[in-house]
């Protein structure tokens, strides 16, 4: 998943599932959601399981 801010800057890249076959709450999804309100310049990222984006 790639998330860009309103100025088209990348604020999150990665998967939203913590591990293969993970169920329930996970930190990666929380990071992705937090990226929508990010004010800092640091790109948040998380590992990707399955097909990655390049």
Question: Is 52 domain-assigned?
Answer: no
Please check whether residue 13 is in contact with residue 53, taking contact to mean a CB–CB distance below 8 angstroms: yes
E strands, the chain, are 2-4, 10-14, 44-46
What is the pTM (predicted TM-score) of this model? 0.57
Per-residue model confidence (pLDDT) at position 48: 76
Q: Is residue 53 part of a domain?
A: no
Domain span at residue 27? 2-46
Percent of the chain scored above 70 by pLDDT? Answer: 67
- What domain count does the chain have? 1
| 13 domain-assigned | yes
The answer to whether 29 touches 36, Cβ cutoff 8 Å, is no
The answer to whether residue 22 is domain-embedded is yes
**Could you tell me how far CA 47 lies from the centroid of its own chain?**
9
Please list, in sequence order, all residues whose beta carbon lies within 8 angstroms of the beta carbon of residue 34, skipping any fewer than 6 positions away: 44
């Amino acid at each position: 998943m790639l998330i860009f801010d309103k100025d088209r800057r990348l604020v999150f890249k990665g998967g939203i599932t913590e591990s293969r076959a993970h169920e329930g709450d996970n930190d990666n999804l929380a990071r992705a959601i937090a990226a929508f309100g990010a004010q800092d310049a640091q790109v948040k990222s998380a590992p990707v399981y399955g097909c990655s984006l390049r």
